[in-house]
Amino acid sequence: MNTLVFASNNAHKLEEIHAILADKFEIKSLKEIGCNVDIPETGATFRENAMQKAHYVKEHFGLNCFADDSGLQVEALGGQPGVYSARYAAMHGHRDEPTKDEANMDVLLEKLAAFPSDDIGWKASFRTCIALLYEGEAHYFDGIVEGHIIPEKRGTGGFGYDPIFVPEGYTQTFAELGNDIKNNISHRARAVAQLAAFLRNVSINEK
Ligand code: IMP
């Protein structure tokens, strides 16, 4: 079976990819190929960051590889926090307390308080870019979910900015909707579905 590296050590993401692709590809994590470096993500876009990770694996291990990068983009903030979503509070001098996710949401809401909102909140979208390097060719798969940031945190599920994000067409936050619904409509699910469709096609044509 064809080996394909997913340049991640995130157990949840690896499990999701395994469930979709394990019948066609031998999916390996960074740890499984002996890559123990924290691959730098210094790009200005999700696409650059995802490709940086895929390139690193190709260069150092010579294997077909894909990587993802995601984040939240808020319209009133010109697309911020974007590629800085994971470290937004730290960049504004806040310590990761009580948790990194809480601190990130607090900083974002503090900033947004200065901007006018519509009757739901502030327009925003979650985005994922997956970069695939397959047989020397680069391919990109983008997933987007539009919605709003609301002024107060609601719900206990998910992670990151989920308690303050209400996807379009829903009244509950990602943290209230639960994993079953979130995993059907999320930015990541949409990007992964495109990647899976592409790879299924590749594996049919290679037979
Ligand atoms: P990553 O590239 O998937 O690690 O995502 C980077 C950061 O974006 C995370 O640390 C979160 O702050 C934020 N983020 C990405 N996806 C989600 C999501 O589905 N819900 C909430 N926050 C997210």
Residue 173 CB less than 6 A away from ligand 1:
no
What residues make up the domain containing 33?
2-206
Q: How many CA atoms lie within 13 A of 144 on its CB side?
A: 9
Ligand 1: residue whose CA is nearest its atom 7: 86
The pairing of beta strand 137-149 with beta strand 165-167: antiparallel
In this structure, is the dihedral angle defined by the CA atoms of residues 13, 16, 18 and 21, taken in order, positive or negative? negative
* Tokens matching residue 82: 């974007």
Question: 3-state SS of 67-120?
Answer: EEEEEEEEHHHCCCEHHHHHHHHHHCCCCCCCCHHHHHHHHHHHHHCCCCCCCC
Residue 70 CB less than 6 A away from ligand 1:
yes
pLDDT band at 207 (very low <50, low <70, confident <90, very high): low
Residues near 169 by beta carbon (within 8 Å), at least 6 away in sequence: none
Residue 143 CB less than 6 A away from ligand 1:
no
CATH number where 14 lies:
3.90.950.10
The vertex-84 CA angle with 166 and 90, nearest 5°, equals 100
Average confidence (pLDDT) over 71-86 = 97
What is the chain's alpha carbon radius of gyration, rounded to the nearest angstrom?
18
Ligand 1: residue whose CA is nearest its atom 1: 70
Q: In total, how many domains does the chain have? A: 1
Cα 47 to Cα 56: distance, rounded to the nearest angstrom: 14
- Determine what percent of the chain falls in helix, strand and coil, rounding each to the nearest 5: 45, 25, 35
Burial class (CB in 10 A: 0-12, 13-18, 19+), 147: buried
Residue 144 CB less than 6 A away from ligand 1:
no
- Is residue 162 part of the annotated active site? The answer reads no
**CA 75 / ligand 1 centre spacing (Å):** 17
Ligand 1: residue whose CA is nearest its atom 13: 71
pLDDT band at 144 (very low <50, low <70, confident <90, very high): very high
**pLDDT above 80: residue 147:** yes
Residue 158 CB less than 6 A away from ligand 1:
yes
Say which residue the tokens 């890559």 belong to. 35
Q: What is the pLDDT of residue 76?
A: 98
Query: What is the pTM (predicted TM-score) of this model?
Result: 0.93
Residues 3-27 pLDDT 10s:
999 999 888 889 888 888 888 899 9
